[in-house]
Amino acid sequence: MKKRQRKVRLIRAAIQLIFFIVAPSLFSTAFAGVKSIFLAIGNHQSVTWNSFLDVTAVLLLVTILFGRHFCGYACAFGSLGDALYELTLFIRSRFFHKKKRHGYSEEMVHKLQKVKYIVLALILLSCVTGFYSSLQGMSPWDVFSMLTTGKLPKPTYIVGTVLLFLIMIGMCTQERFFCQFLCPMGAVFAIMPVIPGALLKRNRPNCAPKCTLCKKRCPAHLDIDGDTAHSGECICCHTCTVTCPRQNIHFVDPDRDNEAVIEKK
């Protein structure tokens, strides 16, 4: 099982690295599309389609059809969080002999997941009220976009730089810290409807007795039911699928498959 886990992690890391190099600004571009709608409303202008909305529409469609695989595999900001968390794990293991994965409690994670909706609401409200222009230089993802293009942030972005630094510290304390707790685009993805076939499922009777490995290893502490109240929080990292000792988690409905097998017999 460890070989399988290592193989999946390497494949995912390779995909993340490719997107980090080729398209590091997909996240900020997609959210720019969302902001453009509310900025137009705030300026009492008609909403016109733009290149930002092209990216937004594509990523929302991908989310509806396949779940939040963009978050799990293609978002450069999320990949940065994964890299910092894994680096922290390595340092804790190598120098402090602590091999257990660290992070917040399940209760704390589920409470903090609501913060990103507040962040989203505040940003969109600032767009509608015309206050958004006063926030220029405070965006940590704008600073991140500058850094990924080889540019140093201007002095006017000192607040955004400080916020990015603080977020990076948070990324070291909890797996997918920003994605779960602060990402406004993540909030948009989380409320999108996802077709049933794109939700991870498990056949509970086939689970090993008292086994909770999938939930323990899930960054969002999710029960893999496909229809839980927190299912929108799944970033499709597939950690649960490779952790399950019985390979009991997948996108196909196990109960429906079992029924089909019985009918054929």
> Which of 148-157, 192-201, 252-261 comes out lowest in average pLDDT?
252-261
Extended beta strands in the chain, E state:
201-202, 249-250
Confidence of residue 253 (pLDDT cuts 50, 70, 90): low
- Which 8-state DSSP code applies to residue 233? G
Contacts of 252 (CB under 8 A, 6+ apart): 197, 201
| Residue 126 pLDDT | 96
CB 27 within 8 A of CB 185: yes
Give me the pLDDT at residue 206, please: 87
What pLDDT shows up at residue 205?
85
pLDDT level of residue 261 (50, 70, 90 thresholds): very low
Least confident of 27-36, 62-71, 105-114, 220-229: 220-229
Q: Taking the mean position of all CA atoms in its chain, how far away is CA 5?
A: 20
Asked whether the beta carbons of 137 and 159 are under 8 A apart, the reply is yes
CA angle centred on 16, ends 14 and 21, rounded to 5°: 95
pLDDT per residue over 133-142, tens digit each? 888 899 998 8
